Structure 1
Amino acid sequence: MVHGWACPGDFFHAQTDALRSRARCIVPDLPGHGKTADRLPLTIDSAGDAIQAYLIEHDLKDVVLCGWSMGALVVYSLLERHGAERISSVVAIDMSPKAVNDADWQHGSQNGLTAEVNALVLDNMIAQWAAFPEQVARQMFAAGRPVDPDLMAFAQSEIARGNPVLLKAMWASLTDQDFRAFLRDFPVPLHLAVGLHSQLYGPGMYRWHEENVPDLHLHEFANSGHSPHLEEPERFNRLLTDLVTA
């Protein structure tokens, strides 16, 4: 289970609690995050390389890789750089293959993220970090729907623990990725879990997947935003359980 930007592995507690009797659950903290924040180069590729090294070291096979948001890009990088010999399937949670919009791509982030806007975000991230936890947490959940206050408080507090200097580098790497070409020849089944009330990615993103990814399985979560595994954990856990016990 590969977490999103500024949201380390603890955001998968509902999954590890539900699946621990059925599967070996591995939840790393990626570069820039959590317990191992400063141990690797701060890039998507280095994160993918580290996970692949772990799979080799422990001789793990038939692995289901689940990547949420940025974590999906880490998974794609792993497969693109190292192949899918050890991987049985992938679950991507509400993520576009390219987060930044431009004249030829309008299925990135719905909050108007362009290269110019992204440059401003990067320029201001460290100085304005105090405002980021609340903003990022609110965008994680379904638009126009109530959010469990304990879940919101957990999200804000965990994001606030992050080091903006490290997270800035990971955000720069995240927004530099473009996996559209790779997804057109994706080597294993891809299960795309999308929240129908996501504040970050819209229907154009998952329709693109349906039209371009060869073995695509779309899972729509009607009561979720960007975080179906947090907002509808029981249904999301059934999806993972089905994949790991297949």
Structure 2
Amino acid sequence: MTHQDPLSPGTHTYRVAGLTQRYHVHGSGPVCVVHSGGPGISWAYLRMPMLEEHLTVVYVEPIGTAWDSRLPSHPHGYTRERYSGFLAALISRLGVGKVHLLGHSHGAFVAAYHALHRSEQLAGIMLYEGAPVTGPEHAAEAGRMLEAFAAKHADHPELPGVLAAFAAMPGICNDEQTEAVAKGVLPSYFADFWGEEERYGPLRAAIRATYISGLDEDLAPDTIDDRATLKNLTIPALVIVGRHDVICGVRWARELDDLLPASDLLILENSGHLGHVEEPELFASAVRQFVTETNR
């Protein structure tokens, strides 16, 4: 479907740099562009209906997650610079001047990069379950948090499956394995998945994922350490984290908040990695307030 208005509700498709770019518009109000995580997880898990009641939410479908948006070098080449370049084209296409950018998980790393390199497009950023670094230090902290999760649920019959999914991560090499691992680890991404499985189970079943390697075209890791540069980022920022997040937890959120000169920190006490699902009212209220205040 072709839309004359780039912010009309529904799915929008256009071509850029030889690839198909899609985005999905829901709600009304100030514009908030949303970049999902993974990399390679389909955008739909990040739908935020309560936020859509107050904002025009533009959900980006990151390149590589659909067959017609894959780079010639797929599954390699999906660097932050590449994602940011496609974001820049999309924001320009919206034609509304500066927007707010919310990135979740890997999308938070992309959002930070975009703010550092293309801040003129942004009125503010929301780093939701992000971190200032990747690599061994980040992996060690995630391992520590996973050990705590395992100790807490030591007697649960599904715990071995979750741990096996984590162990399979380094060997992922195709879409099917990526999706299976994403679904396998998901119980650890909630504060209490098994206690509310009826509520969260449908999201787990609906997850779709594409294998993206995390390497550039030359098969080198797209390593991240934003500690030095984030200190100079002056646009308003909101850092959001779930108290029980095992992947990008409170340690990293506090560090982001300390590094950023103009930031606020929200800790969702009853959430893991998916606070927009676990505590949607509090999450939406904080984002809405941040957008409203920074728009002034």
TM-score range normalised by the length of the shorter chain = 0.7 to 0.9
TM-score (norm 2): 0.67
Q: In the TM superposition, what is the alpha-carbon distance from 1:57 to its structure 2 partner?
A: 2.5
Which residue is 1:142 aligned to? 191
Q: 2-side partners of 1:99 and 1:139: how far apart?
A: 20
| Contact map agreement 2:239 2:266 (CA 8 A) in 1 | yes
Asked if 1:236 is matched to 2:272, the reply is no
Q: 1-side partners of 2:229 and 2:35: how far apart?
A: 19
TM-score (norm 1): 0.79
Percent identity between the two aligned chains: 19
Secondary structure in 2 aligned to 1:85?
A: helix
Q: 1:86 aligns with which of 83, 106, 121?
A: 121
Instruction: Flag the 1:108–1:26 CA change in 2: closer, same or farther, 3 A.
Output: farther
Which is richer in strand?
2
Q: 2-side partners of 1:77 and 1:22: how far apart?
A: 26
Q: 2-side partners of 1:55 and 1:220: how far apart?
A: 29
Instruction: Flag the 1:202–1:10 CA change in 2: closer, same or farther, 3 A.
Output: closer
- What is the 5 A alignment of 1:41-56? 41-56=77-92
Q: 1:111 aligns with which of 135, 140, 143?
A: 143
Larger Rg: 2
Deviates more, 1:187-196 or 1:208-217: 208-217
Considering Cα pairs closer than 8 Å and 6+ residues apart, tell me whether 1 or 2 has the greater RCO.
1
Instruction: Flag the 1:235–1:170 CA change in 2: closer, same or farther, 3 A.
Output: farther
Instruction: Flag the 1:241–1:204 CA change in 2: closer, same or farther, 3 A.
Output: closer
Structure 1 unaligned segments of length 5 or more: list them: 114-119
Deviates more, 1:61-70 or 1:149-158: 149-158
Deviations 1:162-214 (A, max 9, x none): 232xx224798886222222211122111111111111233322332343221
Which residue is 1:189 aligned to? 236
| Contact map agreement 2:238 2:266 (CA 8 A) in 1 | yes
Instruction: Flag the 1:64–1:175 CA change in 2: closer, same or farther, 3 A.
Output: same
Q: 1-side partners of 2:220 and 2:86: how far apart?
A: 16
Give the letter for the 1:3 counterpart: S
Q: 1-side partners of 2:183 and 2:205: how far apart?
A: 6
Q: 2:60 aligns with which of 21, 25, 28?
A: 28
Instruction: Flag the 1:59–1:131 CA change in 2: closer, same or farther, 3 A.
Output: closer
Deviations 1:97-151 (A, max 9, x none): 112224xxx68751269xxxxxx97751127816413333223212686244342
Let me know the Cα RMSD of the aligned residues: 3.1
Which residue is 1:216 aligned to? 263
Give the letter for the 1:155 counterpart: R
Number of matched pairs: 230
